[in-house]
Amino acid sequence: MPTPVKLAVIYYSSTGYSAEIAKEIAETAQKAGAEVRLRKTAELAPEAAISSNDAWAAHAAASASIPEATPADAEWADAIIFGTPTRFGNISSQLKQFIDTLGGLWAQGKLANKVYSGFVTTATAHGGQESTLLALYNSIHHFGGLIASPGFTDAVKFVDGNPYGTSHIDAQGNNPVGEQTRNAARHQAQRVVDVAAVLKTGFAA
């Protein structure tokens, strides 16, 4: 029997929306037979900023038990799904900081030939979902990674309409993660595991 796909779900979340999607992806991947590490990136914001926002402070407390991502998680994985809220149409500084710590692995070629994908949350309908995912994927090209975007490969993608990755509009905290987003996340997780399994089997042959 082939060994399971090793998937790292690495995300940043301030108020919990990206974290909820990350959890959905991780659970789906486990059901698909993958070995999964769910990891959050380190927080860079000052405590004063966090405590000034009730939702941010609450999520920080609720997610305290989630391990922080390290380069070892990226080296371990056959596939990585990154998640982030948008920041002015780009990825969050917290996720970018983690990616910037991977230079040593990149220099050794240890990030190449892995499968990558991404998901994003925004406050508004046109708040940078596509540009954030495209910005994330720029780093993957430098890694020599293989991007498994969900595309329009399932009926659920014609509902959420984003071929670049799972995305959610939180409407400034007024729109909970619903079935449309969860269905997209489940499809993305399954697709990444399936693609990574084929590659892993092929490389081992």
Tell me the pairing of strands 166-169 and 115-122: parallel
Number of H helices, E strands in the chain: 9, 7
Task: State the pLDDT at residue 83.
Answer: 98
pLDDT confidence band for 204 (50 / 70 / 90):
confident
Per-domain residue ranges of the chain: 6-204
Task: State the pLDDT at residue 200.
Answer: 93
Three-state SS at 97: helix
CATH superfamily of 6-204: Flavodoxin domain (3.40.50.360)
- Arithmetic mean of pLDDT, 113-117: 98
Residue 125 has pLDDT above 60, yes or no: yes
Task: State the pLDDT at residue 49.
Answer: 94
CB 174 within 8 A of CB 195: no
